[in-house]
Amino acid sequence: MRIQSFRAALAGLLFLLGLPAGLAAQVDTGRIEGRVVDAGTGAALVGARVVVQGSELAAVSGVDGRFTLSRVPTASQSVVVTMTGYAPRTLTGVQVSAADIVRLEVKLAALEYALEGLTVTAGAARGTVSRALEQQRAAVGVVNTVGAEQIARGPDSDAAQVVQRVSGVTVQDGRYVFVRGLGERYSTTALNGARLPSPEPDRRVVPLDLFPAGILDGIAVAKTFTPDLPGDFSGAQVDLRTRSFPTRRTLSVSLSGGINDAATFRGVLAAPATGTEWLAFAGSERALPAPLAGGADLNDFAGISEALRSFRNAWSAKEATGRPNGSLSASLGGQGEVLGRPLGYIAALSYSASQEVRRGEERALAALGGAAGGTRPYNAFTGSTGRTSVLWGGVLNLSAQLGEGARVSFNNTYDRTSDNEANRLTGTLEEFGVPVDVTRLSFVERSIYSTQLRGSHVFGDRHKLDWSGALSGVERDEPDRSDLAYAREIDPRTGEPRELAWFGNRSRSATRTFSDLSEQARTGEVNYTFQLDRGEIPGSIRVGAMYRNVERDSDARAYDLLNRGLTDEQRTLPAEEIFGGAFFDPGDPKVTLRQNINGGFYTASEKLAAGYAIVEYPLSSRLRLVGGARVEWDRIAVDAVGVNGGRPRSALLENTDLLPALALNWDPAGNQRVRLSATRTLSRPEYRELSEVTYFDVLGVLTYGNPGLQRALIRNYDLRWELYPSDNEMLSVAVFAKDFDRPLERILVQTTGASAVSFVNAEGAFNYGVELEARKGLGTLAGFLRPIALFANVSLIRSEITVGNRGIASITNDRRPMAGQAPYVVNTGLTYAGDSGRTAAVLYNVVGKRIAEVGTGGLPDTYELPRRILDLSLRLPLPGGGATLKLDAKNLLDSPYELRQGTVTRHRYTAGRTFSLGVSLRR
């Protein structure tokens, strides 16, 4: 599937790059293209009549508000736009030439706000910052958007970095989204409106670092539920929108290179690479060895010897010189005609490779001790990590206008990433009383694809039908991870430390792990809208249905290599000599092999059927009621088998839920909006959380699921006031609250032996906060400040969870903030946009300390401390036009990442500052 998806994406891109220039309309006269939208809401207007004054040239706006006027005489023209219920608008001074296409965006004011027709002078199309604010203002619920212009002006290279600029959004581990202090399980991710599956084995969250910023047209974060959205989100739905086609043929190319001041041209750890890993495809040498895949007998020395010899002999990290970072992107798009019908197209491809490090890395566990019952470090280690990362992706989108009332779109996206990582730490294992040197080599590859076919049809003045079908899938492979431990044991005869030697008498001192996951989702959806006849005040009824089928397979297995007869001197040899084959003789084996319990197999399936109805009813010219409900039937089935086989253990969760939503939108003035809403949503367990089969999680803790888990219900309340002084300015104040019934919680279970992790439904939780957001141009202060704008968003959040289950849980505090919830989030910055095309942005982000791991056994909670991020971006047009110089600087403060439990530093490192210089060309 991986190779076929890659070939299909590459073939599609090459096809579009080879489209003949003649596809774009070439006529002697000029052409006018544009879009008609509602001035109050920003929504596309269908059926608006567009006429070139003094001629018979006319067009009607289609389902997305677009229109095209062909064969327009090359001169200064006036364009008149009319539509029932709206004030007519005349645009004068429209300069038409044969050399270029004129692009317009026309805003029509509803008659209740307009007393007469408007005459304006035509200008450039609105920028995407304005468009983003229009979409935010037009939304029924609370929505925050980041547009293409903001993405282009900033230094962010993937969707995870972009979305953290949104109010109330934090990103954990550089990829997982937390919104309004809620954990990752409370957010969903969509691509062009279609739900995406997750490539993570133990969670359903989608890591946003999978999506290059270069293929995105924008990101919308919906924070309030409406019945046309999935019911299993309460934090937010993050909708990634890929690039849409331009109205004229456009080719753009961008190239950049850069350095990390902690890695580039400096000594770094590196893991051996094989095959085509520069394309994020693991080499064949990393595959699960054939003898193990075929079920080699690990109780027979011959079978063990064959399996041992089949492992890739790579265990040690090597010292290397850090390489520069680099990226390349290209896109081709435009609009032409096929069989007499308009066809829009866009193909884009983005590739980047980077060198990353964790310098001065510290790791430790915490134990009770120290003064006044405090904490002390336990098993403390220091070292560093080197990582080579590759990220690439592409889009291939086509859109055809089948008539004035019909449009069909075909959208395709494929993204792929890999991390080749080497980690080496030295410290003391206190339970054994010996210094230890541990090394881990890992290669993780992830991919995601989505294919969507969408249609939109308008019938008469009142009826609109939208439909879509989507196929999406993910894969995550971690082939051939190696974990190695060497120890400096104490000589019992002399009491002195011995030479560093393989710690081979202990389990997991030499382990090879193989894991892979794949998931496919098929979704179909249909929506019907009926425009209510309320005279000059529009209203509507929307109904729809959706069905989604998800299938997931996960396989993880690990193998321990153990010392069976090596001498103390032989154990001091390098790992590549110990495991090179000399000690694998089946007649006299010195090393043996055993399957580790860290693993298992599970399959999961989910079937979801949903229907909804929404009524938007104007109570007056300024007050609108939005009400409706969604019904969801969901069935999750999980079958799991441990590494030792046996009968599958099954879990089944099936529910039918009614999810109502009610909202009032009030416009106290033409540039203000007040939103009030109350909704009910839910949260379902992850697939693996329902299975009793034990496994080791990513932290190495024994974990098992709970088939008795129930879905949680959440009541959500939102109040928000918005002010839009101009197209590019806004101010908002919002308060929100969420009341959880039986929220899902990860707990530490009290057992007679070592503690284990499981999952329960807590008694309840409450989350509330305030969000402030502002975007203001500084031109009102002084004329020379007109190109400068200030933006800021601040979120203040509180939460409390009552865990309960004191009979099995050993959590220190059962009334505490929810895990992952930060008390504050701050995003702020300055942007500059000069008339000559010069732009600049200074961006600052900080997140308050939040619980990363719940404290147990009397130990305090582990907190992730605030990390202050400062980024800078410059864009300078080069002489001759069409080319732009790009300069980006990221993480200028190099604030450390730090986890702290009491007085113990659990994990700490710095990642270095990155600088890049590039050029982009647009034709």
pLDDT digits (tens, 9 = 90+) for 500-534: 999 988 777 899 999 898 999 999 999 999 988 65
Per-residue pLDDT for 688 more than 70?
yes
Strands 904-910 and 897-901: antiparallel
The reported pTM is 0.82
What pLDDT score does 204 carry?
A: 66
| Angular region, 576: left φ>0, alpha ψ -120 to 50, beta rest | alpha
Burial readout 255-281 (b: 16 or more C-beta within 10 A, e: otherwise): ebebbbebbbebebbbbbeeeebeebb
What pLDDT score does 129 carry?
A: 63
End-to-end CA distance of the chain: 35
Tokens matching residue 693: 């089969």
What are the residues whose beta carbons fall under 8 Å from the beta carbon of 619, sequence distance 6 or more?
625
CA dihedral 71, 73, 79, 84 (to 10 degrees): -40
What pLDDT score does 345 carry?
A: 87
Lowest mean pLDDT across 224-238, 259-273, 347-361, 755-769: 755-769
Nearest by Cα to 634 from 652, 655, 651, 650: 655
- Between the ranges 146-160, 169-183, 217-231, 655-669, where is the mean pLDDT highest? 655-669
**Selected residue with higher pLDDT from 339 and 608:** 608
Torsions phi, psi of 99, nearest 5?
Answer: -85, -20
Give 867's Cβ-side CA count (13 Å radius). 21
Per-residue pLDDT for 460 more than 60?
yes
pLDDT tens-digit series, residues 426-451: 999 888 888 999 999 999 999 999 99
State the pLDDT confidence band at 401, using cuts at 50, 70 and 90.
confident
pLDDT tens-digit series, residues 551-563: 999 888 889 999 9
Q: Mean pLDDT, to the nearest integer, of 673-689? A: 90
Give residue 712's identity as a one-letter amino acid code.
Answer: A
Per-residue pLDDT for 84 more than 70?
no
H or E segment and range at residue 685: none
3-class state of residue 710 by DSSP: coil
Sign, CA dihedral 157-163-166-167, equals negative
SS3 track for 398-423: EEEEEECCEEEEEEEEEEEEEEEEEE
DSSP sequence for 791-822: EEEEEEEEEEEE---TTTB-BS-SEEPPTT--
Q: Are 712 and 653 in contact (CB under 8 A)?
A: no
Q: Are 21 and 245 in contact (CB under 8 A)?
A: no
182: DSSP letter: B
Give residue 103's identity as a one-letter amino acid code.
Answer: R
d(CA 674, CA 664): 8
What pLDDT score does 756 carry?
A: 65
State the pLDDT confidence band at 76, using cuts at 50, 70 and 90.
confident
What pLDDT score does 121 carry?
A: 39
Q: For residue 644, how many other CB atoms are within 10 A of its CB?
A: 9
H helices within 502-653, ranges in order? 575-578
Torsions phi, psi of 577, nearest 5?
Answer: -85, -40
Per-residue pLDDT for 570 more than 80?
yes
Residue 388 pairs in a beta bridge with: 355, 420
d(CA 671, CA 654): 46
Tokens matching residue 504: 């081979």
Question: Helix (H) and strand (E) counts for the chain?
Answer: 7, 49
* Percent over 70 (pLDDT), the chain: 86
Nearest by Cα to 592 from 605, 601, 579: 579
Distance of CA 56 to the CA centre of its chain: 49
d(CA 194, CA 473): 12
Q: For residue 669, how many other CB atoms are within 10 A of its CB?
A: 8
Tokens 């000559």 found at: 836
State the pLDDT confidence band at 210, using cuts at 50, 70 and 90.
confident
Per-chain mean pLDDT for the chain: 82
Nearest by Cα to 775 from 46, 127, 76, 65: 127
Tokens 């929505």 found at: 143
Nearest by Cα to 133 from 779, 671, 540, 537: 671
Q: Are 199 and 474 in contact (CB under 8 A)?
A: yes
Lowest mean pLDDT across 86-90, 633-637, 754-758, 895-899: 754-758
d(CA 729, CA 136): 12
Q: Are 406 and 63 in contact (CB under 8 A)?
A: yes
What pLDDT score does 352 carry?
A: 92
SS3 track for 12-32: HHHHHHCCCHHHECCCCCEEE
3-class state of residue 698 by DSSP: coil
Per-residue pLDDT for 122 more than 70?
no
d(CA 513, CA 218): 38
What pLDDT score does 9 carry?
A: 43
Q: Mean pLDDT, to the nearest integer, of 701-707? A: 74
Per-residue pLDDT for 112 more than 70?
no
